Structure 1
């Protein structure tokens, strides 16, 4: 690059040179800029049905089930309805309901607190009780902070630490989830003593050609899976097909497939087998790093803390931030924690033996009814949308979105949603189209399922709320979301005419 600071004698020459270079570079600069969205014709509301039907009624798409509702945000008039009252598998669109109820039931400022309580001492040694309340954001850094709090209090010698994992009642894994999901980091156990979203990465590396792959756990000290290694190192020209899957009835995974010679190591995120024990191990290590000795630890459940003194603690971010993580990244772990946290507020939680998640679903129903959602328009089984037993009608999502738009937490809720072409799970969708930047919506996908529900502000039309659900397709999800995005571009072209 030419120097910008030139002597006065060379200014005239330099200016001439720069002008010549700019004239040469202009076509290249223009080509490198992002082209504006194509100038497509406007679509009148009276033409909307024809325009959408032209997309979803294509011969290659006719066999699939579409549920679509498009409605004015500030009213009840529907611009389009295709089987909007029928039930569909919604996938992660369920998170729209979970986060809406969390804001109503828990409140945006609430935080999930991990506490340490003092128990009666044994001689000159302190005994402690650690109570986890399902903070999905807690990491080793948080445990180190608690350890430092204890160190500053002069608690250098601890007898026994009891870890209470009874904050949530019932099984930590949803019984409706598919077996194949249970060896993934998006379907880990959900319990009170959570750490690192209850996952531990397995890093897989190549060896010599024909040799099994080597593997190491990111944190070998945690309670991990046993590994049955059936993988192999392949020639450098071959594709990576390495995979880890759970073996039914065992705390063991089967590592299969191949990794090319000298390929970059592959990280496979796996759920913890016993998260409470892993939490105990990690906390013990944090104490050791702070110079605190411990004699023993145990995992317990349901300890009475009424008369105990809290001596150390760490809080999660507020619910508003947990909701943002849930919707932006479609985080199943956060969604399931929100469901269970909601269940903890049910009046019957302390007087019945019902599962915390079941009580959470009961409070979903109460809140949905208060928002004007027809009880016949949904049947929910989890908070994340991973269960294929969830069924929701597009009209239910439209009603939830409309109700939240006029709620006291409307801005928090709306800003938690991904923006087309800009953020979250929509960052790489609708880029360079008329829909970029004006769609805020929640994505959803499972095999055979694709969904998108949210808000759109067409430049030449009033704001809209919509829900699009596609079920029973047999194509790659990447193909079907492009079809949904086509519909969004049609909505972006709406005009008052």
Structure 2
């Protein structure tokens, strides 16, 4: 028996005797199999960074043309992906709903208008549109005015029953509930601007003319849905800005504290509201008033009555346009709306449970092995979400043959492109490097986690799909730099 055969025989005997688990031996063999490639040597040098000590880094790189893995490190290890998980959610949404899918919002009444007066209720019914803005509410009001409606004697009723009443995903920390990325999900919600962070309000803080005076506060859009307590001060010129906007848990009581320098420009803060349904209805009432339509009844929640007549309607842009701000700006609210919409339209109901079940049924067609993923939400904000880097790189590989691939690709942030609508979350990264304009990828970041997954064009005309996921990092200052350095290496191949 040769020396190599003897060694193999001994190893198998040890395995059979239970002294050394086979999995441990296999892992050891993979880690030391053959001479390290030039690509592996370059990446290994980057991974020697001090901030990665004690962390777990998973990397998967595939040839985009064949799907062949050319480099991996912990490629089959399930890791928390942060917002890279949006690659799965968006793929499922585009596949099942299609690029031309639109959300809608409608207005109903349960009694006919007589001489411009509605004696019945006026219902604002939402169908989950995360891109609904005050401008859209104005369009609805204008349609009512054109129909000759001047007064509503009944109640203004908000109908958000398109989705269930669970507002927050299962694992969202309570401390994130006031943040724009942790906004409540409702079938009827409104966005303060075209970033479409639905269910939020913008607080604009500007310094007073005199030091020591309270800064001026603007609420955008203007609403009485929240209550403000301004305890902030205007500080000395060039002093440190320490403004904080906090919302009392479970309420819409906002407190502004800290200091803003006298010579500072105005600062904006996006804060999630409690009860986005009520927030939207209050803004609709204001919109009606702008069109001269008086409302005499109460504002309340309820369902459109059977037999009610539709008076006005509004539609969102098609999904192929909505996915651009969604992926480029990593919009959590749109992500969770898509999960509920999939559940409502393609499943058994508008809930996280049913939506995630619909996505799970698409795993095989998207290139996902059920054992390599755990989805608890659509955005990646949960620390319970898990997926392997090899799975993400395979989803990206498989997507290339899908009819919706161009929409998917063009919705990803582009490295180093300063145009926010193109570069998105990568607009300030990899500038002046070989990766500028050649990396189109989804970023991800939650506490102790950072990720970057997407496509990269190599120097020799090669194209790769890749996924980099870093977990358990205590020092987070250089994680994005580490990801960028690996992307630059791939772009130089």
Same-fold status (TM-score > 0.5): yes
Q: Is the 8 A contact 2:67 2:397 kept in 1?
A: no
- Confirm or deny that 1:191 pairs with 2:186: yes
Q: Is the 8 A contact 1:223 1:274 kept in 2?
A: no
Cα displacement (A) at 1:171: 1.5
- Confirm or deny that 1:101 pairs with 2:92: yes
Distance 2:392 2:181 in 1: 23
- Confirm or deny that 1:120 pairs with 2:111: yes
User: 1:299/1:357 Cα in 2 relative to 1: closer, same or farther (>3 Å)?
Assistant: farther
Could you tell me which residue of structure 1 aligns to residue 136 of structure 2?
Answer: 142
Could you tell which deviates more after superposition, 158-167 or 211-220? 211-220
- Confirm or deny that 1:154 pairs with 2:148: yes
- Confirm or deny that 1:258 pairs with 2:252: no
- Aligned pair partner of 2:42 in 51, 56, 59: 51
- Aligned pair partner of 2:75 in 73, 81, 84: 84
Could you tell me which residue of structure 1 aligns to residue 382 of structure 2?
Answer: 387
Cα displacement (A) at 1:60: 4.7
Distance 1:330 1:300 in 2: 31
Could you tell me which residue of structure 1 aligns to residue 315 of structure 2?
Answer: 315
Cα displacement (A) at 1:237: 3.5
What is the CA deviation profile of residues 327-371 of structure 1, one whole-angstrom value per residue up to 9, with x for unaligned ones?
Answer: 11111122121111111124422xxxxx61111111111112322
Distance 2:80 2:129 in 1: 28
Could you tell me which residue of structure 1 aligns to residue 451 of structure 2?
Answer: 451
Q: Helix, strand or coil for the counterpart of 2:268? A: strand
Could you tell which deviates more after superposition, 436-445 or 165-174? 165-174
Q: Is the 8 A contact 1:239 1:259 kept in 2?
A: yes
User: 1:451/1:213 Cα in 2 relative to 1: closer, same or farther (>3 Å)?
Assistant: same
Cα displacement (A) at 1:214: 4.7
Q: Is the 8 A contact 1:182 1:188 kept in 2?
A: yes
Q: Helix, strand or coil for the counterpart of 1:120? A: coil
Could you tell me which residue of structure 2 aligns to residue 475 of structure 1?
Answer: 475
What is the CA deviation profile of residues 449-496 of structure 1, one whole-angstrom value per residue up to 9, with x for unaligned ones?
Answer: 11100111213153211000111222344x2211111111111121xx
Distance 1:101 1:362 in 2: 11
* TM-score, normalised via structure 1 length: 0.84
Distance 2:51 2:272 in 1: 39
- Confirm or deny that 1:488 pairs with 2:484: no
- Aligned pair partner of 1:407 in 385, 402, 406: 402
User: 1:300/1:245 Cα in 2 relative to 1: closer, same or farther (>3 Å)?
Assistant: closer
Distance 2:163 2:342 in 1: 11
Matches within 5 A, 1:11-30: none
Could you tell me which residue of structure 1 aligns to residue 411 of structure 2?
Answer: 416
Matches within 5 A, 1:164-179: 164-179=159-174
- In structure 1, runs of 5+ residues without a counterpart are 1-44, 350-354
What is the CA deviation profile of residues 363-418 of structure 1, one whole-angstrom value per residue up to 9, with x for unaligned ones?
Answer: 11111232231112111121112222222211221121122111111111111111
- Aligned pair partner of 2:226 in 221, 224, 227: 224
Could you tell me which residue of structure 2 aligns to residue 26 of structure 1?
Answer: none
What is the CA deviation profile of residues 98-119 of structure 1, one whole-angstrom value per residue up to 9, with x for unaligned ones?
Answer: 1111101211111001011231
Distance 1:156 1:255 in 2: 39
Q: Is the 8 A contact 1:65 1:471 kept in 2?
A: yes
Q: Is the 8 A contact 1:164 1:299 kept in 2?
A: no
Q: CA RMSD in A?
A: 2.2
Q: Is the 8 A contact 1:202 1:269 kept in 2?
A: yes
Cα displacement (A) at 1:302: 4.2
Cα displacement (A) at 1:122: 7.5
User: 1:151/1:137 Cα in 2 relative to 1: closer, same or farther (>3 Å)?
Assistant: same
- Confirm or deny that 1:371 pairs with 2:366: yes
Could you tell me which residue of structure 1 aligns to residue 289 of structure 2?
Answer: 288
Distance 1:384 1:371 in 2: 17
Distance 2:51 2:184 in 1: 40
Could you tell which deviates more after superposition, 269-278 or 255-264? 255-264
Distance 2:152 2:332 in 1: 36
Cα displacement (A) at 1:245: 2.6
Distance 1:430 1:363 in 2: 37
Distance 1:284 1:247 in 2: 25
Could you tell me which residue of structure 1 aligns to residue 234 of structure 2?
Answer: 233
Q: Helix, strand or coil for the counterpart of 2:182? A: coil
User: 1:367/1:263 Cα in 2 relative to 1: closer, same or farther (>3 Å)?
Assistant: same
- Aligned pair partner of 2:102 in 104, 108, 111: 111
* TM-score, normalised via structure 2 length: 0.84
Q: Helix, strand or coil for the counterpart of 2:181? A: coil
Could you tell me which residue of structure 1 aligns to residue 194 of structure 2?
Answer: none
Q: Is the 8 A contact 2:163 2:340 kept in 1?
A: yes
Q: Is the 8 A contact 1:180 1:245 kept in 2?
A: no
Q: Is the 8 A contact 2:124 2:281 kept in 1?
A: no
Distance 2:158 2:148 in 1: 21
Q: Is the 8 A contact 1:368 1:400 kept in 2?
A: no
Q: Helix, strand or coil for the counterpart of 1:84? A: coil
Q: Is the 8 A contact 1:325 1:334 kept in 2?
A: no
Q: Tell me the number of residue pairs that the alignment of Structure 1 and Structure 2 aligns.
A: 443
User: 1:249/1:326 Cα in 2 relative to 1: closer, same or farther (>3 Å)?
Assistant: closer
Q: Helix, strand or coil for the counterpart of 2:390? A: helix
Distance 1:200 1:122 in 2: 34
Q: Helix, strand or coil for the counterpart of 1:183? A: coil
Could you tell me which residue of structure 2 aligns to residue 42 of structure 1?
Answer: none
